[in-house]
Amino acid sequence: MLKRPRAAVFVSGGGTNLQALIDKRGSVITSGDIALVVSNKADAYALERARAAGIDTAYIPFDKQNPYTFENEVSWLLKDKQIDVIVLAGFLCILSENFTERYDHRMINVHPSLIPSFCGKGFYGLKVHEAALEYGVKVTGATVHYVNAVADGGEIILQKAVEVLEGDTPETLQRRVMEQAEWELLPKALELVFKRIVSEQNGDDEPDNEDIVDELDALTADSDR
């Protein structure tokens, strides 16, 4: 029997995107399991969310001056837990090229803009939405992409646009982008990666992203009725 793919989620804060993943287990996320949550912050509330959902957790401090200490320790943990996929969900640390290359097309990140707008070094959290409002865009959104050595530079998996409303503040825009885009896209993207791994294990042809997304959209539409 083939092993179900297993994902680790890296977090630094409250874990709202993690919660979106947890909530979609069994409905959108069906081809693999969320097996581990790792945080560089001991007091990250995301760890509490994971424990409440019965998911193993780990705290590993991250030293910006020596990121390899984190990467070495987490690498052993990922091997021990038989992790196939890494999800960066509000993980505010930069991983080395050596580390990201080991998870080529197996590591994904969610970014709160329509890449290539408002992305790259320095664009994270509220800073993204502040920049969008300052620039005066009428539409923003979120992107899930594969991770490589370039900040927010990996291949795009999914995107969704979100309208910017008159009177928006960075905080209100951030919340709308999370609710209407990030929390919808991230579970679908993880399922896409899981399905690709399953297809590889079975020796099948690589599945088409659009077909899988259409299938997932139909499932979620049925569950919302």
Look at residue 183 and tell me if it is in a domain: yes
Look at residue 57 and tell me if it is in a domain: yes
Transcribe the chain into DSSP letters: -PPPPEEEEEESS--HHHHHHHHTBTTTB-SSEEEEEEES-TT-HHHHHHHHTT-EEEE----TT-HHHHHHHHHHHHHHTT--EEEESS--SPPPHHHHHHTTTTEEEEESS-TTSS-STT--THHHHHHHHHHT-SEEEEEEEE--SSTT-SPEEEEEEEEPPTT--HHHHHHHHIIIIIHHHHHHHHHHHHHHHHHHHHTPPPPPHHHHHHHHHHHHHHHH-
Total domains, the chain: 1
Return the pLDDT at 219. Answer: 53
Q: Which residues are catalytic?
A: 111
Q: What is the CATH number of the domain that holds 197?
A: 3.40.50.170
Question: Is the separation of the CB atoms in 149 and 104 below 8 Å?
Answer: no
Look at residue 215 and tell me if it is in a domain: yes
Look at residue 168 and tell me if it is in a domain: yes
Nearest CA to 159 among 175, 174, 176, 181?
Answer: 181
Question: Is the separation of the CB atoms in 77 and 38 below 8 Å?
Answer: yes
Question: Is the separation of the CB atoms in 132 and 141 below 8 Å?
Answer: no
Look at residue 124 and tell me if it is in a domain: yes
Return the pLDDT at 218. Answer: 61
pLDDT in tens, the chain (225 residues): 678 999 999 999 999 999 999 999 999 999 999 999 999 999 999 999 999 999 999 999 999 888 899 999 999 999 999 999 999 999 989 899 999 999 999 999 999 999 999 998 889 889 999 999 999 999 999 999 999 988 888 999 999 999 999 999 999 999 999 999 999 999 999 999 999 999 988 877 776 666 666 666 665 554 454
CA distance readout (Å), 16 to 46, 110, 174, 183, 210: 8, 12, 12, 8, 26
Tell me the C-alpha distance between 209 and 157, whole Å. 8
Look at residue 30 and tell me if it is in a domain: yes
Domain hosting 18: range is 6-224
Look at residue 1 and tell me if it is in a domain: no
Tell me the two tokens of residue 112: 């709160």
